[in-house]
């Protein structure tokens, strides 16, 4: 069965901390995505990666960076967390030939205090 | 730019009622259209899709028809069950090499026995 695993379901961090959100997929997918999900705003794409060490900015990359050192793992980094980054973060993956069929993890709910 | 507009929720229905969730879109080119569903505590998963005008996507009793003339992709089900309680997202990919899915804000459906 297809699986996208996000390392934490809930995280609480302090303003100014460096935060790492980890995502691992076991489907050998080329594409991986990070979204944030906020009430009334739906899903917004933060970053996309189509290969190891490759990345593209999405709609809201400010305040975030990403790392993809291995095909199965895609990390989202908040260099200096701020309260407006409190949100639900969703990771997804897809095959390169069918990027519209995305498989999502269960999400990490991050609270920045 | 591309956009997806869904009916505001939440929607509360009794079991066996008829469901319609409206979705309209704005896009350049010839987009592909999708419905994703997010069950409580889980990540999003693809429910159905349609890739060209007049296509009908269907899955698990849900249907949606790609109407180019009205730029719509409304989700319907003839008889909802309690297990259909979830958040439903309409999405599009505008094609032409785009890697990005554009999501609507989501519609929360609650089905009561």
User: What pLDDT, in 10s, does the model give residues A49-78?
Assistant: 999 989 999 999 999 999 999 999 999 999
User: B66, B52 in Cβ contact below 8 A?
Assistant: yes
Pick from A101, A105, A107: CB nearest B46: A101
Closest residue of chain A to B98, computed from CA coordinates: A99
* Per-residue model confidence (pLDDT) at position B2: 87
| Separation of alpha carbons A101 and A41, rounded Å | 21
* Per-residue model confidence (pLDDT) at position A70: 95
> Is residue B94 less than 8 Å (CB to CB) from chain A?
no
Residue A36 has pLDDT above 70, yes or no: yes
The interface residues of chain A toward chain B in range 45-84, judged by CB-CB distance below 8 A, are 45, 48, 50, 56, 58
Residue B95 has pLDDT above 70, yes or no: yes
Q: Running DSSP on this structure, what letter comes out for residue B88?
A: E
Pick from A4, A45, A101: CB nearest B100: A45
The interface residues of chain B toward chain A in range 23-42, judged by CB-CB distance below 8 A, are 32, 34, 38, 41-42
**Average confidence (pLDDT) over B22-28:** 93
Residue B98 has pLDDT above 80, yes or no: no
């Amino acid at each position: 069965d297809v699986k996208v695993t996000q390392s934490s379901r809930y995280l609480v961090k302090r303003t100014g901390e460096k935060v790492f959100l980890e995502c691992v997929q076991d489907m050998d997918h080329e594409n991986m995505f990070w979204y944030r999900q906020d009430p009334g705003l739906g899903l917004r794409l933060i970053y996309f990666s189509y290969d190891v060490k490759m990345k593209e900015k999405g709609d809201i990359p400010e305040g975030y960076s990403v790392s993809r050192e291995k095909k199965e793992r895609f990390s989202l980094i908040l260099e200096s967390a701020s309260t407006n980054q409190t949100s639900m973060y969703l990771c997804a993956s897809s095959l390169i030939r069918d990027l519209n069929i995305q498989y999502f993890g269960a999400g990490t709910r991050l609270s920045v205090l | 730019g591309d956009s997806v507009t869904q009916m505001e929720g939440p929607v509360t229905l009794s079991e066996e009622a008829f469901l319609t969730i409206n979705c309209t879109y704005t896009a350049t080119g010839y987009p592909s259209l999708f419905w994703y569903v997010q069950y409580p505590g889980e990540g999003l998963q693809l429910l159905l899709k349609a890739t060209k005008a007049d296509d009908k996507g269907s899955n698990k009793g849900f249907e949606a028809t790609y109407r180019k003339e009205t730029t719509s992709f409304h989700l319907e089900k003839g008889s909802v069950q309690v297990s259909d309680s979830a958040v439903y997202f309409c999405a599009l990919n505008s094609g032409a090499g785009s890697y990005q899915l554009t999501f609507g804000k989501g519609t929360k459906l609650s089905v009561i026995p």
